[in-house]
Amino acid sequence: MNTAKTKLWSDKLWVRPFKNAGILLLGRGTQAILSIAYLALATRALGLENFGYLVLIHGLALTAAQIIRFQTWQAVLSFGAKQIKEDDTDRFNNSISFSVWLDILSSVAGVIILQAFIPRMADWLHIPLELVPMVRIYVLGIVILILTSVPEGLLKLFDRHDLISVQTVIEPVIRFAGALFLFSTNGALINFIWLWLIALIAGRLAGIYLSIALLKQKDLLRHIDLSIKHFIKPENGLWRFVIGTNISTSLNINNHQLATVLCGWLLGPSGAGLYRVGQQISNIISKPASKLLTPAIYTDMAELSASGEHHKSGKVILQTSIIALGASGLLFTILVFGGKYVITLIAGEEYINAYPVMITLAVAGLLQIIAFPLEPMLVSAQRIKETVITKILAISLYCIAFIVLASSYDLIGAGLAMITYSLVNACLLWIFSARYLMSVKAASQQTTGATN
């Protein structure tokens, strides 16, 4: 037993992901604190119903962007890691150019289609008719959201988590400063919606600027040729990869605010507002992994895959999962005993009914921690089919569970549906990951045998 433990921890592969996560913590930690602060200001200034409208409009735009957006940052990271390692600037340019054109075309097409359906979606989500013009404007921000996918991939590819940390802070700083002003001046709902949109665009534009500056610093910018020919004739396997990752990520409910939107549909704006408060606070369980460790571990997984050291992935998974689960378990205990006080302190007594859904979402967060390194490993190894199957099954069961449970048990039913999603997702990812690691081990043994 002691020998197994020693073997597990002998290679300190977990150090680099946690080091990069520590760098991201500077930005994400600031973001988390400011997010709680502007959440408190917005909930108190707007009241439950108007706050519900705000999160529904914001959630609708983000959910639409996540569904439309191809995960080109993953293509840049997965394909670019090998191309940079081999100093193949032509193929690297091809991948970047293809990804940029894909983002441009998908964002324009997506916005045009969405504009046609906005009145119906607004009615479906119980958004008042007078807010529909603002929803149309907000949806235009999808273009900027999608165009930041390639810059995100470039920053991760070159291990510049310090720049990601800087970029992460910009949006919450603007939102907090604006919310503070609007709170003190009794700002209207429309002003808060404008503030949320401006902050979102500013943060994403900063990411684009930082990635361009990085390419220039690496002397790669002069090699970038955004010709349409690269979109027409991309790198072999690139289309299959981006379509697969798009389906997988679009069906990952943790990547967008679909749950908030569904709550608006079934439970109205007040239900959406309560759900969002519970979700925001329960995020202290899952966000350290999803927003800190997952982005950091993608870089390591891509490099292990590019260098052929797939066999080390298993140790990285076990080491990071054990540490992350221990920390999250402590945070969960704090939420169980102090959650009501935290909700009252942040949002006010009006939102105390968010406590039950907050706890169920925290349980779902613990289940997510168990599996958080698995998807980065499979994607980096270009095992996209497995992640797509996982997400299709998980989201299908989630939607069924949500409609049945939320209709019967309101908010707590919505939380139980999330537990269903997280449990199915974690189990399937572990099954597929175990199969992949066994195949890697078998291939390694065959190679060793042939060499001997």
Answer whether residue 158 is part of any domain.
yes
Tell me the pLDDT of the chain (452 aa) as tens digits. 455 444 444 455 445 555 555 555 555 667 778 888 999 999 999 999 999 999 999 999 988 888 888 888 888 888 887 788 888 888 888 888 899 999 999 999 989 999 999 999 999 999 999 999 999 999 998 888 888 889 988 998 888 878 888 888 899 999 999 999 999 999 999 999 999 999 999 999 999 999 999 999 988 888 788 888 878 888 788 888 888 878 877 777 765 678 899 999 999 999 999 999 999 899 888 765 555 555 555 556 566 566 555 556 666 666 666 666 777 788 889 899 999 999 999 999 999 999 999 999 999 988 888 887 778 778 777 788 888 899 899 999 999 999 999 999 999 999 999 999 999 999 999 899 888 888 877 776 666 555 55
Secondary structure of 14-80 in HEC code, one letter for each residue? CHHHHHHHHHHHHHHHHHHHHHHHHHHHHHHHHHHHHHHHHHHHHHHHHHHHHHHCCCHHHHHHHHH
Write down the pLDDT at residue 276: 93
Task: Name residue, tokens 């940390």.
Answer: 165
Answer whether residue 67 is part of any domain.
yes
**350 Cα distance to chain centroid:** 29
Answer whether residue 35 is part of any domain.
yes
Q: What is the DSSP string of 408-419?
A: HHHHHHHHHHHH
What's the structural domain count of the chain?
1
Q: What is the DSSP letter of 289?
A: I
Q: How far apart are CA 220 and CA 179, in angstroms?
A: 40
Kindly give the residue spans of alpha helices, DSSP state H, lying in 288-383.
Answer: 294-306, 313-346, 355-371, 374-380
Identity of residue 138? Y
Answer whether residue 215 is part of any domain.
yes
Structure token pair of residue 358 = 């907050």
Name the packing angle between helices 161-184 and 294-306 (round to 10°).
160
Write down the pLDDT at residue 322: 67
47 Cβ neighbours under 8 A, 6+ residues apart = 350
Answer whether residue 362 is part of any domain.
yes
Q: How far apart are CA 149 and CA 142, in angstroms?
A: 12
Contact call for residues 325 and 370 (beta carbons, < 8 A): yes
Answer whether residue 449 is part of any domain.
no
Q: Is 407 exposed, middle or buried (0-12, 13-18, 19+ CB in 10 A)?
A: exposed
Contact call for residues 24 and 295 (beta carbons, < 8 A): yes
Q: 101: domain range?
A: 2-442
Answer whether residue 149 is part of any domain.
yes
**270 Cα distance to chain centroid:** 25
Structure token pair of residue 316 = 């990285």
Say whether 126 sits in a helix, a strand or coil: coil
Q: By C-alpha distance, which of 21, 11, 2, 20 is closest to 316?
A: 11
Write down the pLDDT at residue 247: 81
Q: What is the DSSP letter of 233?
A: S
Contact call for residues 95 and 238 (beta carbons, < 8 A): yes
Q: What is the DSSP string of 346-366?
A: HT-GGGGGGHHHHHHHHHHHH
Q: How far apart are CA 343 and CA 336, in angstroms?
A: 12
> Rg for the chain (alpha carbons), in Å?
22
Say whether 199 sits in a helix, a strand or coil: helix
Cα dist from 421 to 65, 206, 259, 368, 435, whole Å: 21, 34, 11, 9, 21
Q: What's the pTM?
A: 0.79
Contacts of the segment 210-215: beta carbons below 8 A, 24+ positions apart: 210/151, 210/155, 210/160, 210/163, 210/166, 210/167, 211/150, 211/151, 211/152, 211/154, 211/155, 212/151, 214/154, 214/155, 214/158, 214/160, 214/163, 215/154
Answer whether residue 450 is part of any domain.
no
Write down the pLDDT at residue 57: 95
**380 Cα distance to chain centroid:** 16
Q: What is the DSSP string of 156-184?
A: HHTT-HHHHHHHHHHHHHHHHHHHHHHHH
Residue 254 φ then ψ, to 5°: -75, -10
Summarize pLDDT for 65-84 with one digit per residue, the tens.
Answer: 888 888 888 888 888 877 88
26 Cβ neighbours under 8 A, 6+ residues apart = 165
Q: How far apart are CA 199 and CA 304, in angstroms?
A: 36
